[in-house]
Structure 1
Amino acid sequence: MKPYPFTAVVGMPDLRLALVLSSISPAVGGVLVRGEKGTAKSTMVRALAGLLPGVDVVDSCRFSCDPVSPDPVCPDGPHEAGVPAHRRPARLVELPVGAAEDRVVGSLNLEKALSEGVTDYQPGLLAAAHRGLLYVDEVNLLHDHLVDTLLDAAAMGRATVEREGVSVSHAARFVLIGTMNPEEGELRPQLLDRFGLTVEVASSRDPEQRVEVVRRRLAYEADPDGFADGYAEADAALAAEIEAAQRLLPSVKLPDEALRQIAEVCASFEVDGMRADIVTARTAVAHAAWAGRAEVTTEDIRVAARLALPHRRRRNPFDAPGISEEQLEQALEDSQPPPEGPDDDGPSGGGPGPDDSGPVPDGGPAEGTPSSGPSEPTGNGSSPQKTVGAGDTFRARVFRVKGTGEGERGRRSRAITDTGRTIGVQPPSVRDGRPHLVATIRAAAPHQQARGRSGAGLEVRSADLRFALREGREGNLVLFCVDASGSMGARARMREVKTAVLSLLLDAYQRRDKVGLVTFRGTDAELALPPTISVEAAAARLEGLPTGGRTPLAEGLLEAARVLRVEAIRDPRRRPLLVLVTDGRATSGSDAVARAKAAAGLLTDVTTIVMDCETGRMRLGLAAELAGHLGAEHVPLSDVAAESLASAVRERTGRAA
């Protein structure tokens, strides 16, 4: 069955252009495609491979060496001049989200290295993608260390495997394309910056275009080959244009005036580092070649900036990527050289004067900004609903789950992982992780005489292999259970509460945790955000969280227990950390206190932090009492900041001295 044709995809011109430019110049650094599900992201990427020119490769070389300029250190080499070669289509290699590191970068056969003294390297997906496309669907769900490996290989053009003192390196030049749904979590800004271009895609709201999408998809499913044949001519024409642009690319000139424009545009958007300038320049050159021009123009820079800068403007992990078209146009205009001539002593006329009409910045609150005043009643209790925004975040204390887990790699709690420091050797029955060289030698050495080994080296058998036991950090499920009752809003504490929780969310983002949000007020509790890796979604829900009504503490604890019970079935390896944000009051129902104590009994096995929101001179101490029932750590709201803890330690240390 033939794949869906590239030219048959309806709409999405930015994505189409970004993919074409990355194909023309792989040095651009690949494309990150962000968009909601069902927007044909994967369809376009898979169809792109059919447009790329074929590649000449050395016969029997597993690393796709170019016969004209083979890799001098190719593990299958060295390849002599005139070596037999053949032509094959460009490859599209897909990397599964759950792929192991050995599958991605390749693996070394330690048994052969010890017994025969040879390096037996098994190529991974990076080798298979050399001189082609490497596609990662849901790249935001990929482990950080694998994303780092991919991006490093894409930037350096080489992949290196180093293990137990043995090192193998091979060429790995490919176009890296990642797709992601932002609802499922963002990439860290450092990783976002490593992608050359980014494109936001969304489904069309035009009924006619949506009808055409459905019509073409149904036609393809009814007769895939016949449908593809109908677009074969258009695909072939586009492939020819890409190949022509690749030939023109080396001769495209990037004059100093264009470089200055690029520098001024990047500076105007206050992007960090110099990668934005370099990627924008490469993209502008590729676009000029695509347009058939021999020199970069302002239009090429405009297009390049729209694709290369949006994801590099983030100042905060919760900031949405994007650039202002008006600011881009103003930056391009300001970067133009001044006009020459006898009439250039007055205003240039490039921008609006004081009497010109034009867009005026809105001095009111931004759209979507929560109001600090009361709004309409919600029906969840008799008190009016209030919404209060959060203040500036701070560096929060690090709270960890007790004990040692075996969950997904992250940066919070202790866990047995396949990376990290070696703390021992796994039992011989456990054959998982990386081999432990010293332990393997010790296991094999006593048997050498019985095995008839008399010369140098060791005869290592499968039973001799020992594997390292490593301790690292895992990511956890951080479930926030937040009291949103009237007492929180009435005493103007919600702003401090939201600031503290938002700071903890930022910490969870940095430590690669999964997060969820339960709120309780009035007479009931609700799961405001099911557990997800998208801390951005949690921050948005928290920012708009209203307050009002009584305090159904028991219902909040019961809902938290239910969520954790369900998640233990869905994701049993991920250990939970419950952050209960409350002043400890229970005022909903006649037996509210007794029910709250009973509900707390369901959570005694969960590592819990009780964030005490009670303030003022007269305190009831209910949150501390609740922490005792839960076996939890009691943390006053003022002590959530890391600096507060450090100050307390310094104060106590000074007293002791």
Structure 2
Amino acid sequence: MHVYPFSAIVGSDDLVLALILTGISPDIGGVLIRGEKGTAKSTAVRAQAALLPPITVVTDCRFSCDPAAPDPDCPDGPHPPSVASATRPVRLVELPVGAGEDRVVGSLHLEKALSGSGVEYEPGLLARANRGILYVDEVNLLHDHLVDLLLDAAAMGRATVERDGVSLSHAARFTLVGTMNPEEGELRPQLLDRFGLSVEVAAPRDPAVRAEIIRRRLAFDADPAGFTSAYATAEQQLAERIADARLRLPKVVLGQEALLAIAEVCAAFDVDGMRADLVCARAAVAHAAWCGRTDVTRADVRAAARLALPHRRRRTPFDSPGMDEGLLDEILGEDHDPDPGPDGSGGPGGPPSDSGSDTPPPTAGSTPDPPASGLGSPTSSNDDPRPDAPAPVSVTAPEEPYRPRLFTVAGTGKGTLGRRSRAITTSGRTVGDVPAGRGTGPIHLAATVRTAALRHATSRSSPDTTRLSIALSDLRRSLCEGKESNLVLLCVDASGSMAARRRMSQVKTAVLALLLDAYRRRDRVGLITFRNHEATLTLPPTGSVDVAAARLRELPAGGRTPLAEGLLKAAETLRRERLRDPDRRALLVVVTDGRATAGPKAVERSLHAADHLAREGVSALVIDSETGRFRMGLAAALARRMGAEYVHVGEVSAEAITSAVAGATTRAA
């Protein structure tokens, strides 16, 4: 199988440089690649692995021990000084998002255990990735229990296994490379900090660059062998330059001036802890080695800071990653030209001389950062007094989001792993066992032996048979209880009724607070607003606070109140979400003052929509924001028709909304 050549990648300079620096110095700690889909993230990672120098390993060691310095605690050891060795390429081990814990850390060799050959440990992916690259595509979707395993291994350089009668540890030093699409959710801060470098990747906007990317990809798809052969010389030159940089790395001097510049930059960007300084120093040394120097210059510091600091600067989950390069240049005191590639073209390696076309300089696309806070804009309105004039519209900003109370859904679900409600999951506390064909948890050894013993005791075999045999039908899996994530769908009145501006400001604050909590607990939150004559899915269910903040930047309020349309839109949204993820339990939160005013028979249509939601079995909460001396009481009737919990508040506040949600979800199944 042919891999797309690394030197043929166009338009991703930062990505290429980050991968090269980690290839030169694995101690940097890996790369996190953030970007929209279709930006060659996976292609670049797989291509870079082929350029790394081969490694020498102990022959037949499943943990890739270095014969020059073998692991004294290697499960396949001890390895004597004269142990046989072999040379092989660096492994690129892919960790699937849906992998089980057994597959990652290893477990009991089941076949040998059942056949009576004894207890033997079967290594997992962490063992296979030792001294190599561990690649996680869609790393932000990785289950929390697997994230915990990666954090332990990355921090200690070892993987510890305590399960199924196996107790051991082995070396697990790998370069962690992850890719993610920010629109699909954020990464846990603890894991984010373990990536040495981070890169934002976007499709280039220059038509000439895009055309060149298409030309090369089509050429590769049409003739992989021929395309790879055409870039063989450039690949060889790039591999040799990486190998030379590795040899030069120990000779590079990090002088006092460069060290102070690194400390000054990290302090100015208000990064947390000292890991940023260490990573920046290692990346600057690697960059100097890559450029053929033995002294670290300010140009090396700048290149390292651009890759090591964006994901480490202190920020709220609503702030997008990134850094002010103007401030960086101001701190360093001078402007710097990009480092030329080995062919002087500005990239890591140019196309071969017979490529048949002039290659435009690679350029990485970029997107402006959204504001860190202040999701609203100045109030605007239309005061035209004519009857047919548009209804006045205003846009209000939310208040500062706060940390909401924990709320959980009552009962035991079976949804996606999360950190909120109780559920039967693939990991967690063992609460029972089930037949192997009905469960997804690890093998429950004690229950398996017990089942086999009961079958043996009740069988009609000869009484002389004393040896216990385990059949496939005896296998039992652990029934694990953990936490699941939920969907909270807010259906909010955005009409121009009394106190609309105040209500919308507080509702926005509540949504941001729920999103902040969802970021920590892996929940999904959606928002439907209804005004004039229609309902809009303003915020599709998401766990990405960056995308949510962008969508909530301007949320208009004004016009009539199409309550029925809002409820029907909520029913349709929940129906689609159930089809997409049947196991994720949802709570519908309807925020309204009960004044349905859009069209004839608006109240009657709203009650019919409530009946429809009740027939669909939607768990719901109605928050009544109606104020004034004379109240219509429609919200209470609406709650009764929906079979929903009813909460009355004189004015809707963010604290009231989330407190009501906290009370309702403890009673919703």
Q: Is the 8 A contact 1:377 1:385 kept in 2?
A: no
1:389 CA drift (Å):
1.0
Q: Is the 8 A contact 1:515 1:534 kept in 2?
A: no
1:16 CA drift (Å):
0.9
**Equivalent-residue separation in structure 2 for 1:615 and 1:33 (angstroms):** 50
Counterparts in 2 of 1:643 and 1:201: CA distance versus 1, 3 Å: closer
Residue 43 of structure 2: aligned partner: 43
1:496 CA drift (Å):
1.3
Which residue identity lines up with residue 228 of structure 2 in the other structure?
A
1:427 CA drift (Å):
5.2
Residue 637 of structure 2: aligned partner: 625
Q: Is the 8 A contact 1:262 1:277 kept in 2?
A: yes
Residue 586 of structure 1: aligned partner: 596
Is the counterpart of residue 102 in structure 1 residue 108 in structure 2?
no
Which residue identity lines up with residue 598 of structure 2 in the other structure?
S
Residue 502 of structure 1: aligned partner: 512
* TM-score computed with the length of structure 1 as normaliser: 0.86
DSSP 3-state at the match of 1:248 = helix
**Equivalent-residue separation in structure 2 for 1:324 and 1:588 (angstroms):** 48
Counterparts in 2 of 1:70 and 1:616: CA distance versus 1, 3 Å: farther
Counterparts in 2 of 1:311 and 1:380: CA distance versus 1, 3 Å: farther
Counterparts in 2 of 1:89 and 1:504: CA distance versus 1, 3 Å: same
DSSP 3-state at the match of 1:295 = coil
* Structure 1 residues 58-90: Cα deviation after superposition (integer angstroms, max 9, x where no partner): 222222222222222222222222222222122
Question: Could you tell me which of 434, 440, 462 is aligned with 1:432?
Answer: 440
Which residue identity lines up with residue 655 of structure 2 in the other structure?
A
Residue 315 of structure 2: aligned partner: 315
**Equivalent-residue separation in structure 2 for 1:411 and 1:486 (angstroms):** 38
DSSP 3-state at the match of 1:315 = coil
Q: What is the percent sequence identity of the aligned residues?
A: 63
* Structure 1 residues 509-546: Cα deviation after superposition (integer angstroms, max 9, x where no partner): 22212232222111111222333332432332223111
**Equivalent-residue separation in structure 2 for 1:493 and 1:477 (angstroms):** 23
What is the 5 A alignment of 1:19-58? Answer: 19-58=19-58
Residue 198 of structure 1: aligned partner: 198
Counterparts in 2 of 1:65 and 1:616: CA distance versus 1, 3 Å: farther
Residue 611 of structure 1: aligned partner: 623
What is the 5 A alignment of 1:278-289? Answer: 278-289=278-289
**Equivalent-residue separation in structure 2 for 1:421 and 1:431 (angstroms):** 14
**Equivalent-residue separation in structure 1 for 2:306 and 2:564 (angstroms):** 51
* Structure 1 residues 578-608: Cα deviation after superposition (integer angstroms, max 9, x where no partner): 1222222211122111111111122232222
* Aligned residues: CA RMSD: 3.1
**Equivalent-residue separation in structure 2 for 1:293 and 1:130 (angstroms):** 30
Q: Is the 8 A contact 1:386 1:489 kept in 2?
A: no
Residue 395 of structure 1: aligned partner: 403
Which residue identity lines up with residue 423 of structure 1 in the other structure?
V
Question: Could you tell me which of 564, 571, 587 is aligned with 1:577?
Answer: 587
Counterparts in 2 of 1:183 and 1:371: CA distance versus 1, 3 Å: same
Q: Is the 8 A contact 2:90 2:132 kept in 1?
A: yes
Q: Is the 8 A contact 1:29 1:155 kept in 2?
A: no
Residue 408 of structure 1: aligned partner: 416
Q: Is the 8 A contact 2:259 2:281 kept in 1?
A: yes
Q: Is the 8 A contact 1:188 1:317 kept in 2?
A: no
Q: Which moved more, 1:612-621 or 1:197-206?
A: 612-621
Which residue identity lines up with residue 416 of structure 2 in the other structure?
E
**Equivalent-residue separation in structure 1 for 2:469 and 2:75 (angstroms):** 24
Is the counterpart of residue 478 in structure 1 residue 456 in structure 2?
no
Q: Is the 8 A contact 1:390 1:543 kept in 2?
A: no
DSSP 3-state at the match of 1:641 = helix
Q: Is the 8 A contact 2:319 2:372 kept in 1?
A: no
Residue 596 of structure 1: aligned partner: 606
Q: Is the 8 A contact 1:151 1:195 kept in 2?
A: no
DSSP 3-state at the match of 2:559 = coil
Residue 641 of structure 1: aligned partner: 655
**Equivalent-residue separation in structure 1 for 2:105 and 2:59 (angstroms):** 22
1:43 CA drift (Å):
1.4
1:120 CA drift (Å):
1.7
Q: Which moved more, 1:174-183 or 1:66-75?
A: 66-75
What is the 5 A alignment of 1:123-522? Answer: 123-164=123-164, 166-333=166-333, 370-374=376-380, 382-426=390-434, 430-444=438-452, 452-453=465-466, 462-487=472-497, 490=500, 492-522=502-532
**Equivalent-residue separation in structure 1 for 2:383 and 2:112 (angstroms):** 73
Counterparts in 2 of 1:267 and 1:645: CA distance versus 1, 3 Å: same
**Equivalent-residue separation in structure 2 for 1:205 and 1:495 (angstroms):** 36
1:377 CA drift (Å):
10
* Structure 1 residues 398-441: Cα deviation after superposition (integer angstroms, max 9, x where no partner): 33334321111012222111222233333576353123354445
Q: Is the 8 A contact 1:393 1:502 kept in 2?
A: yes
**Equivalent-residue separation in structure 2 for 1:460 and 1:380 (angstroms):** 81
Counterparts in 2 of 1:436 and 1:258: CA distance versus 1, 3 Å: same
**Equivalent-residue separation in structure 2 for 1:162 and 1:435 (angstroms):** 14
**Equivalent-residue separation in structure 1 for 2:436 and 2:228 (angstroms):** 54
Residue 666 of structure 2: aligned partner: none
Q: Is the 8 A contact 1:411 1:475 kept in 2?
A: yes
1:375 CA drift (Å):
5.3
**Equivalent-residue separation in structure 2 for 1:261 and 1:211 (angstroms):** 40
* Structure 1 residues 171-202: Cα deviation after superposition (integer angstroms, max 9, x where no partner): 22222111111122221333222211001111
Q: Is the 8 A contact 2:310 2:322 kept in 1?
A: yes
DSSP 3-state at the match of 2:127 = helix
* Structure 1 residues 457-481: Cα deviation after superposition (integer angstroms, max 9, x where no partner): x765544443332222111222221
DSSP 3-state at the match of 1:200 = strand
Please, which runs of 5 or more residues in structure 1 have no aligned partner? 335-364, 650-657
Residue 358 of structure 1: aligned partner: none
Q: Is the 8 A contact 2:311 2:321 kept in 1?
A: yes
**Equivalent-residue separation in structure 1 for 2:394 and 2:39 (angstroms):** 37
